[in-house]
Amino acid sequence: MSNIAFTRIQRECKEVVTNKEIAETGIMIEILNDSLSEIKGQIRGPPDTPYQGGSFDLEIKIPDSYPFTPPKIKFLTKIWHPNISSQTGTICLDILKDQWAASLTLRTVLLSIQALMCSPEPKDPQDAVVAKQYMSNPGLFKVTRFSFTFITFS
């Protein structure tokens, strides 16, 4: 990783870790290596969504070409969501693909993933089976989501 990339991701990690607003939304990160190329993320299921009460782990890999290419992020926790693969955890989110810009940050990406959990885009799915169920049978979608991801209620 270049010096510029290292300095930038170091600053972005510090922003996520120390930002009170981020902490209140239930987003956390843990740096897994000294090069800052591997990060574990965690997103709390947003309130008033089928994911409320859940805690979802993410694998975040920062490429050597960051910030000119997006981080590689996938869910480690199984999740039943139209825009997230139920098999691999791959996320269908435009800013992680063709809409990435070097001005975006780790904070922006994590907040965008949490927003996607609130507002699925079933017409642009990562998992067609989940998207079909989401659109045609919302009740079954919710039941399946509960059986797919263990959620505890407090």
- Contact call for residues 108 and 99 (beta carbons, < 8 A): no
Annotation says 118 is catalytic? no
Whose tokens are 């997103």? That residue is 43
Q: How confident is the model at residue 154 (pLDDT cuts 50, 70, 90)?
A: very low
Structure tokens, 30: 């843990």
- Please report which helix (H) or strand (E) contains residue 40, including its range: strand 38-44
Measured CA to CA, the distance from residue 142 to residue 64 in angstroms comes to 39
Partners of 28 in beta bridges: 42
Structure tokens, 15: 């922003």
**Which residues have C-beta within 8 Å of that of residue 73, sequence separation ≥ 6?**
41, 58, 59, 60, 61, 91, 96, 109, 113
Structure tokens, 22: 């981020």
Rounded average pLDDT over 137-153: 78
Residue among 60, 92, 110, 131 flagged as catalytic = 92
**Whole-prediction pTM value?**
0.91
| CATH superfamily to which 3-148 belongs | Ubiquitin Conjugating Enzyme (3.10.110.10)
- Contact call for residues 27 and 110 (beta carbons, < 8 A): yes
Q: How confident is the model at residue 152 (pLDDT cuts 50, 70, 90)?
A: low
Tens-place pLDDT, residues 31-89: 999 999 999 999 999 998 889 888 999 999 999 999 999 999 999 999 999 999 999 99
Closest CA to 26 of 11, 36, 41, 48: 41
Tens-place pLDDT, residues 93-117: 999 999 999 999 999 999 999 999 9
